[in-house]
Amino acid sequence: MKLSRILLFCATLLLANAQVAQAQNGTAALDRVVEKIRRSGDLSAAFTLTVYNALNEPVDKQSGTIKLSGDKFYWTTPAMTVWYNGQLQWAYVKASEEVNLTEPTPAEIASINPYTLITTYKQKFNVKALKAKNSQQRVAELTPKKKGTQIDRVVLTVNASNWMPQSFQIYYSDRTHSTIALSRLVTGQNFSDATFVFDKKQYPKAEVIDLR
């Protein structure tokens, strides 16, 4: 479903020198973001996810929170909660009282956890800087190095005062796209491993469906 493909880069420049400059500027900004995230320890943030169809019409909007610790993450909205412990993922759907247990691929993780798009950008994306709306922002466009991927491009907006992500605009190959706006970012936290594992005791009526 589109919501889970989040919860994570057009024009060709005419001059080669301009292309190089933009790539360097975009890469420099992302390098600062990666370093800031690496030094921030565990972090949490609020987010608003808006999903658009191929006609650029909003078809779904959800607000929630996300917690991150290295490769692990937890995020929740009124409709769904997802836990990932670095290997296994549990996705709880409130409406059906079902939990889908999977062992996702790196590509699937990137579509759910947008921070993965940043930390792996050098391996998977080409980068160029875009014009920001104001001096307090930096904007980078990431396009996959590998053709035929599910993600067509990602536009990342960064807060230049703290070098943390403000929003992701993720454009998919089927012409749909989603926007993830982040707020209330808190760094330097210390989450237990249990934070990123589904606890059956907390959801006694839920049916766990093992899809591995």
Task: Pick the closest to residue 125 from 133, 137, 117 (CA basis).
Answer: 117
Which of the listed ranges 92-96, 123-127, 138-142 does the model predict with the highest average pLDDT?
92-96
Q: Which pLDDT tens digit goes with each residue over 58-72?
A: 999 989 999 988 888
pLDDT band at 137 (very low <50, low <70, confident <90, very high): confident
Rounded to an integer, the average pLDDT of 94-118 is 79
> What's the pLDDT score for residue 74?
92
Q: In what order do the strands lie in the sheet with 164-172?
A: 125-130, 137-144, 151-159, 164-172, 177-189, 42-52, 58-69, 72-76, 80-84, 89-93, 98-102, 207-210
> What's the pLDDT score for residue 208?
94
> What's the pLDDT score for residue 81?
94
pLDDT averaged over the chain?
80
pLDDT at 31 over 90: no
More confident residue, 126 or 114: 126
Cβ contacts of 119 within 8 Å, gap of 6 or more = 34, 37
Rounded to an integer, the average pLDDT of 104-131 is 72
Give the whole-angstrom CA distance, residue 68 versus residue 86: 11
Q: Which of 117-126, 161-170, 187-196 has the lowest mean pLDDT?
A: 117-126
Share of the chain above pLDDT 70, in %: 80
pLDDT at 26 over 50: yes
Q: Are 142 and 165 in contact (CB under 8 A)?
A: no
> What's the pLDDT score for residue 21?
30
Q: Which pLDDT tens digit goes with each residue over 79-99?
A: 899 999 989 999 999 999 999
Cβ contacts of 90 within 8 Å, gap of 6 or more = 82, 83, 84, 99, 100, 101, 197, 198, 208
What is the end-to-end Cα distance of the chain in Å, rounded? 18
CA dihedral 181, 134, 30, 171 (to 10 degrees): 50
